[in-house]
C-alpha cells in the first residue's frame, strides 16, 4: 500500500503505485500517475503534480529552501529524476536521471535530456531541448506532440496497471490507438499555430 500522508490531496482518478511515498502538502491532479518507488516530500511550501503528468520509477520530488515544486500538465518526469524546488511548465519531458535544482523554471513543451544538471535559478524558455551539466539550451523546437504522446502512454499504462494488466502497450490495437492519438495531437498543434 502506498504511503500517503494526511496533507496530500489526491484526485480520485490519479494512479499511485503501492510502493510510492508522498508526504506533506502535495496536490496530485486528475489522471496523473506516480510510479514504482517514487518519493515526494513537502515539509513546507508545496508540490503540485499536474493533470495527466507521470512521475516515473525512482523519481524524487522535494521542495527547495524557498521554492515550491510545481509541475504542469501532460509532463513526464522519467526514471531516477531529482526535481527540487523548481517550476516545470506544461508538456515537458525530463529525461532519465536529470536533476533540476531550486528556482529553475522550465518553459512549456521542452525536453531536458537524460543526465542533465540544471543549477539553481536556471530559466529555460518554452520549446527548448536542454543538455549537459550545467544544462544549456542546445536547440529550439516545439515538442508538444512527442511530449504529450509520452504522457498519453503513461496515462493508458496507469489505467491498465490499476486493472493489474502489465502489458498494456502490446499488440496492434494499442499501436492503432497511439497512431490516432498522434494524429489528434498534430491537429491540435496545427490549430494552436494558427
**pLDDT of 192:** 87
The pairing of strands 136-140 and 128-131 is antiparallel
Model-wide pTM > 0.85: yes
Let me know: does 42 contact 69? Beta carbons within 8 Å. Answer: yes
Instruction: Indicate the angle between helix axes 172-193 and 144-162, nearest 10 degrees.
Output: 140
Residue 148 lies in a domain: no
Total number of domains constituting the chain: 1
Q: Which residues, in sequence order, are CB contacts of 83 under 8 Å at separation 6+?
A: 59, 60, 61, 62, 69, 71, 77, 94, 100
Structural domain includes residue 105: yes
Structural domain includes residue 23: yes
CATH number of the domain at 127, please. 2.160.10.10
Mean pLDDT, each 10-residue run in order, the chain (194 residues): 93 98 98 98 98 98 97 98 98 98 98 98 98 97 97 98 96 96 96 86
* Coil, helix or strand at residue 24: strand
Structural domain for 24, as ranges: 3-140
Residue 147 lies in a domain: no
Position 146 in a domain = no
Amino acid at each position: 500500500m502506498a504511503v500517503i500522508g494526511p496533507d496530500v490531496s489526491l484526485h480520485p482518478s490519479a494512479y499511485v503505485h503501492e510502493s510510492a511515498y508522498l508526504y506533506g502538502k502535495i496536490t496530485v491532479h486528475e489522471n496523473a500517475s506516480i510510479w514504482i518507488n517514487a518519493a515526494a516530500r513537502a515539509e513546507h511550501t508545496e508540490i503540485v503534480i499536474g493533470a495527466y503528468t507521470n512521475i516515473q520509477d525512482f523519481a524524487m520530488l522535494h521542495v527547495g529552501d524557498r521554492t515550491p515544486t510545481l509541475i504542469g500538465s501532460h509532463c513526464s518526469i522519467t526514471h531516477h529524476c531529482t526535481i527540487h524546488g523548481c517550476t516545470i511548465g506544461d508538456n515537458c519531458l525530463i529525461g532519465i536521471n536529470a536533476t533540476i535544482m531550486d528556482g529553475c523554471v522550465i518553459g512549456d513543451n521542452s525536453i531536458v535530456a537524460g543526465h542533465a544538471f540544471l543549477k539553481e535559478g536556471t530559466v529555460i524558455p518554452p520549446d527548448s531541448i536542454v543538455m549537459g551539466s550545467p544544462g544549456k539550451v542546445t536547440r529550439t523546437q516545439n515538442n508538444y506532440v512527442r511530449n504529450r504522446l509520452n504522457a498519453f502512454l503513461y496515462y493508458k499504462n496507469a489505467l491498465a496497471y490499476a486493472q493489474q494488466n502489465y502489458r498494456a502497450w502490446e499488440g496492434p490495437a494499442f499501436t492503432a490507438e497511439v497512431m490516432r492519438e498522434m494524429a489528434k495531437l498534430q491537429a491540435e498543434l496545427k490549430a494552436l499555430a494558427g
